[in-house]
Structures are given as structure tokens and as C-alpha cells.
Amino acid sequence: MRRARAALLASALPALLLAWPAGASTLVDDSDPTAIRVVGRPDPEGLLPDQTAPKAVSAISADFIAKQAPTLNAFQLVGLLPGANVSSSDPYGLSTSSSLTLRGLGQDEIGVLLEGAPQNDIGYYYAYPSQFADAENLRQIALTQGAVDLDSPVIGGAGGLLSLSLDDPKARRGALIDLSLGSYAERRVFVRLDSGPIGGTGLRGFLSYSNNRADNWRGAGFDARQHIDAKLLDEWGDGNRASIAVSFNEADTSTYPSPTLADWQAYGRGFNYDKRYSDGDTAYWRLYRAPFRNIYASAPVHLRLSDRLTLDSTSYLQFGYGNSPYGTELSTEGNYLGTELLTQPIALPGAVAGVATVLGNFTGDQFRAGNVTKLGLAAGAHHIVAGLWFDEGTDHDVQSYTSIDANGRPRDIWGYGDNAIHTADGRLLAYENERTTTVTKGFFVADSIALTPRLAVDIGFKGVDVLHDGRNYLPGPQSTVRFDSFAALPRAALHYRLDDRQQIFANVTTNFRAPDEYTLYNSYDGGAVSGQGTTALKNEYSVAEEIGYRYIGANLSASLTAFHYHFRNRQLATVIDVDGAAINSTVNAGRQTSYGLDGELDYRPAKGISLYVSGEYLHARIDDDLPIDGDFLPTKGKHAVSSPTVQLGLGGTYDDGRLFGSFALKYVGRQYATFTNDESIKGYATLDMSIGVHLAGLIDAQRTDLRLNLINATNPHVLSGVEAISTNAQDVIGRNGTPIAGSPPAYYIGSGRALLATVSRSF
């Protein structure tokens, strides 16, 4: 009876979350009998878990995560891993002003999964780590630097894959409470309840809630976040399991201003929004608060249909709404809606001489649903997988205006249309108003062939079609847009076990990035088309190769990977300023070639002690001159932007059962911010430290930990990354003699030092 009930639950979950056909997570079956098994000293740091995949994979486990500040987001937690270049604007990871690049490839090129469900923005492919699951609920974060799994439901994975796995509900009923206090009036509470077995159903689940608030570490303002994670799990028979995971996030966070190099040299960390409001002030801090609300749901199912046949299916849903506002001025007369001149004046509360300071909204309202399903068949020396992926998302983006009161407080920080400024005839006054439906269809097939007990060869193919179908609601020459593109993605890999401790691997993979939806639409300024939407852009396409070596020993583990990429139609995300609004944009940088080395080593000399070293050498060069203004910018042979040549990491942990601690030191080399390499930021280093004590046995038998985390201990005053790239910072003469005006890039200011104390108690 229970088996029938569980099977019914497993089959019902995909239907509940729009069970379209599609795929799951790995090319090689986890039950592969050739997998290496080494018995040695456990790794207390959890920074180099054993791997057998024929590709570069790094990971951190709960053992390492538990020693870090509980406020840190997923980007910050993986910053020590090879190739991971993290730029964060605040020490606690609350602000959305952050960035992650892998091997010089930006976060719009990095797929992010939570319990197998995509977390990337459907419109611009970005992912926002402050919205992800709480750290206490994470079992592992895996970072694939290059070769994304064939069945991963992501678009644009050339940069790799960040995959978050939630902890399973505990087998016994219990609770966990974390309380934290820290610098900048930081305060956080986290509570998790585990149900244990629910009656006689065999189901078990957990529910957690956290509330986090901190003042801005620089300038006026604060960040606030409340978050809920929940998971319901059933397991039965020989490896069958089905679960539902839900993650809800609501945040009201600050947008830290990003300086140019001249701003940084003039003001340093003093480059901030105004603390107090005065009439006409568009730089008041309350005009730059970004509220967001998101819900993510995932329902992964794994069924063993027979001794040789398995079924994996993950259905997912995503809802999100938020505003990225800014301060600007608006006139009662002389306004346009698209290309239409408004002949009647608009009503502006607080206008003086026909001009008022207002909140400029940039709202996004998103819905996304999909499913990826695969069948796996073991047939002699072959393990064959085949599957389908379907994804549909709708994104409605509006740039409108909301009035503010005499004290500079917006009437509505969320930017809802009902509260926004309208035209005299009742229409929404908008600089941008567009809705896009994106439909992604994919199929994949692969075969892992065990040629010998030591040698396996994988071959696979994936086909993906991406359709953008949209409508521009502003009056003008453009009403509808449609762009359909298909990418063929073959791949192959080889894995060879030298012995029970050593392995070598090699792979060739292909990836693509479809043009994002923002490239399709016209933009208008003063009644004229200021930016021409296009459907002529080609997919970015890349071919990548890796060859690597792993050693898994009792006291020492190591990995070394050489990689090479070649890109066509390299698409680079940036941010441009339009009348004070930070607008997403994309630059086609032509061809690019990158190659380098990633390495990591974990040494465990004694019980409770672990030392970890990581590093990357990256050679990334632009292969073409960039066409601009009818001429060509001299960029051939230049360093690619945001691609530091050298990164080094050093970490360690200690845990003797009573005292514990950790440190993480990361150095990131020089980063260029322009295609012509006429502006860059210097290399810098950050250091995080922690010390704690296990109090179990001193108070009672329950787990009770007290720890101090020092974030960015050395407090360097640095620019930590490139927020908005530029073609050229200085005026340049093109190849054909045309003067090409420069524009300055913008940067992230590295966060300040913070001290956080946490007491953690299990019941």
C-alpha cells in the first residue's frame, strides 16, 4: 500500500508543477561501478569532495559552509574555488550589486540551479545570489567551471554551472536556531524545524525562516531580507525518491553607486548617495532602494523502473517581481510616450516651475515554468540517456515614474502601475513598456561506454531552440518582435582510471548564448528612436576543451585542469546610463580565444586539520577589431575584460571537537575594463577568518556552537570588479581614421570589514 502511495506521489509531482517532458542532471550514472572509492581521513573543510566526472568540478560541502558567516550568499561562499572571481558590494551578501565570473566569463554565461531548477533571470540570464536558499539549508554547492551537464536546463552555460543542493529533511524530529549580531547593526535570526517521519506516510520535511537586517556599511540606508525554505521528501524501494522544494524571498536592499575611476580617485569610499534630501535632489538614498519578491519551486523525482531502466524528472516554477529604481526629474510638458508627443500636460505633485523630482522605476514581473525529464538505460557496456526539456517564461518590463513627497520619500517603492504617474488621458507614462514570452525546447541523447573496467568514453548531443516573442506597448514604429534561434551542441568526453587513486579525463564541449530579450526592442528618447532593436544578432557559440588529472588519497587530494575556449560572436553584458537609469545592454565582441590552468589541492596532515590551495592562470584575448561608428576599434590581441590573468586562493580549517576555526585568503589579479585595455583596476586580496567553540557537553548534550566570523579582515580600500564595461575609456582613432569618443567604465567598491557573532543551537 505504501509503495503504491509513494509511486502515486512521485508520478503526481511533475503534473502539479507543469510536467512537460525534459531531463535531469548528470551524463554519467552516479551508480557507475567504476567509481573510485578511497577510505582515508575525512576532510573537515569540505572544499575538495571526491569527483569522478570527466570534467572540471569543484565543490564545497556543509562542513565548510557551517564555519562561514551565515549571511554569506552562494557567490561569496565559492569565492575560494579556482576560477571564481567574486565582486561583492557589501560584506553580508545582501545587496544585489554583486558579480561572479568563471574563467573570465560573466554570470549571464553561468547557469545556476537549485535542486535542479534554473535560477537565472529569463530575460537577461543573470542570477541574484541574495535570493538563494539560506546557507544553513545547503548540503553542497558544486561549481563546474566549463563543461555544463548535457541535461542542465540552462541557456548560455559557457561560463559553467553553479549547482546548489538543499539538505534533506532530517530522519528525526528536531529544530535549529541561529542568532547573529554584527557590525553595521547587523542582526539575523534563523529557525529551522524538521518534522521527522510524518505519521505512517514515510514523508518527512523541513521548514525554515530567516530575517536579516543590516545598515549600509558605507553611505546611508539599510538592507533587509526575510526568507523561507521548505522541502518535503519521500524515499522508498531501491533508490526511488521524490521531493518538493520551495524557496521564498522578500528583500528591500540598497543599490550601492558604482564609481568611475575618476570618481574613485576623487571620493574613494565616500562615493555614496545623499543622506539627506533637498529639493531637486535626484541622488537621495531612498530613491535607490530595490525591493524584490521571488518564489522558486522544484519537484525532482528519481524512479528505478527496473534493474536497467531509470526515470528522472524535475518540474519547476518561478514567480518574481521587483523594482530597480533611480532618481530623476520630470517636466509637466514636452513629454513623449514612445514617439508620440503628449500635447496635454501631466500632473506632477510637488512640481516647481513645471519640474519635479520623481522616482524612476524599472520593474520586472516574471513567471517561468518548465520540466526536464530523462530516461537512463544500462545495456551491457553502455549507459544511454535521452531526454527532453521544455521551458516557458514571461517577462514584463516597465520603466515608469512615481511621485515623491516633500521629504523625498516615494509614494510607492515597488513601482506598481496604479500608483505611478499617468498621462492626461489616463495612460501609464512609461519610458519602456514591453512584454516578452520566451519558449525554450531542447532534446538530448548521450551514451557512456565502458570500453574497459578503467576506460570510459562519453558521446552526446543536445539541440536547443529559443524563441523570443514580444510586444512593445509604446507608440512608435515597433509593436511586435519575434526571434527564433537553434543551436546544435555536440560533445565528447573520456575518463581513465590509472589506479584506485588517480584518474585522467578529457572533454570537448560546445555552448551557446542566445541574444537576450533586451536586444530586440527599440528605445526612445525625446520622441526619436535612440536605440534600434534588432533580430539580426547571432547566437554566441563556443567550443571548449579540457584535459585534467585527479589524485584522491587518504591525506592528500588534488586536481589540475588545462582548458581552452574559442568564441564566435562573443556577447558581453554591460550596463548603460539612460537619463539616470541603469539599463542592461549587450555588446558583440566578435571572436575570442582563452586558455589556461585551474588547480586545487587539499592536504589533511592530521585529524581535524585541513589546508587548501587553489589557483588559476588565464590567457584571454580578443581576436577581432570591434566595429563601431562605421570604423573599427583597435582591439585585436587585447586582454578580454574582467579576466584576471592570475587568481590564488589559500584556505584552512581546524576542528578538534571543541575548538574550531577557518581562514580563506583570495588574491585576484589585474582586471581590464575596456576592450582597448586603456583602463583597468589593480589586483587585490581579501581575507576571511572564523573561530568558534563547540559547547555540547558543557551545557548539555545538544549541539551548541558559538563562533566569530571576521569578514574582509584586512579591510583593503579597493575596487573589486567591473560593474559596467566600456569599449574605450579614452578617445581613440579607429583603424580607418575616425575619432571614437571614450566613455568611462564603472566599478564595484570592495566591501568593508565586518565582525559577526553567531550562536547556533540544535534541539
What's the chain's average pLDDT? 89
Q: Is 64 helix (H, G, I), strand (E, B) or coil?
A: helix
> Of 72-76, 271-275, 417-421, 527-531, which range is least confident?
527-531
Helix (H) or strand (E) holding 133: none
- pLDDT for 454 equals 95
- At 700, is the pLDDT very low, low, confident or very high (cuts 50, 70, 90)? confident
- As to burial, measured by CB atoms within 10 angstroms (0-12 exposed, 13-18 middle, 19+ buried), residue 426 is exposed
CB atoms within 10 A of CB 663: 17
> Of 148-162, 184-198, 645-659, which range is least confident?
148-162
For residue 62, which phi and psi values (nearest 5 degrees)?
Answer: -60, -30
36-43 mean pLDDT = 41
Does pLDDT of 635 surpass 80? yes
Beta strands in 237-288 (DSSP E): 240-254
How far apart (Å, rounded) are the C-alpha atoms in residues 302 and 310?
7
Cα dihedral 352, 354, 355, 361 sign:
positive
- pLDDT for 19 equals 32
Q: Is 442 helix (H, G, I), strand (E, B) or coil?
A: strand
Cell triple for residue 693?
567553540
- pLDDT for 572 equals 67
Class of CATH domain 2-762:
mainly beta
175-189 mean pLDDT = 97
Does pLDDT of 646 surpass 60? yes
Does pLDDT of 480 surpass 80? yes
| Residue that the C-alpha cell 568558534 belongs to | 692
Does pLDDT of 21 surpass 60? no
445-456 mean pLDDT = 96
CB atoms within 10 A of CB 100: 28
Q: Is 308 helix (H, G, I), strand (E, B) or coil?
A: coil
Cell triple for residue 63?
562542513
- pLDDT for 63 equals 87
CB atoms within 10 A of CB 74: 27
Does pLDDT of 4 surpass 60? no
- pLDDT for 586 equals 64
- pLDDT for 536 equals 78
- At 573, is the pLDDT very low, low, confident or very high (cuts 50, 70, 90)? low
480-496 mean pLDDT = 94
- pLDDT for 574 equals 54
- As to burial, measured by CB atoms within 10 angstroms (0-12 exposed, 13-18 middle, 19+ buried), residue 568 is middle
> Of 33-37, 63-67, 515-519, 702-706, which range is least confident?
33-37
| Residue that the C-alpha cell 542570477 belongs to | 127
703-720 mean pLDDT = 95
Does pLDDT of 34 surpass 50? no
Global pTM reads 0.88
- Quick check: 304 and 237 in contact, CB under 8 A? yes
- pLDDT for 36 equals 38
- Quick check: 658 and 693 in contact, CB under 8 A? yes
Delimit the domains of the chain by residue range: 2-762
- pLDDT for 46 equals 65
- pLDDT for 193 equals 97
Q: What is the pLDDT of residues 241-284, one digit of tens each?
A: 999 999 999 999 988 999 999 999 999 999 999 999 999 999 99
- Quick check: 496 and 542 in contact, CB under 8 A? no
Share of the chain above pLDDT 70, in %: 92
596-608 mean pLDDT = 93
DSSP per-residue codes, 343-383 = -SPPP-TT-BTTEEEEEEP-EEEEEEEEEEEEEEEEETTEE
Give 145's contacts (C-beta < 8 A, 6+ positions apart). 56, 57, 58, 82, 83, 102, 103, 160, 561, 563, 598
Does pLDDT of 110 surpass 50? yes
How far apart (Å, rounded) are the C-alpha atoms in residues 482 and 484?
7
Helix (H) or strand (E) holding 497: strand 480-497
Q: What is the pLDDT of residues 64-107, one digit of tens each?
A: 999 999 999 999 999 999 999 999 889 999 988 888 999 999 88
- pLDDT for 339 equals 95
Does pLDDT of 11 surpass 50? no
Cell triple for residue 151?
541535461
How far apart (Å, rounded) are the C-alpha atoms in residues 150 and 111?
12
435-442 mean pLDDT = 96
- pLDDT for 25 equals 33
For residue 737, which phi and psi values (nearest 5 degrees)?
Answer: 95, 5
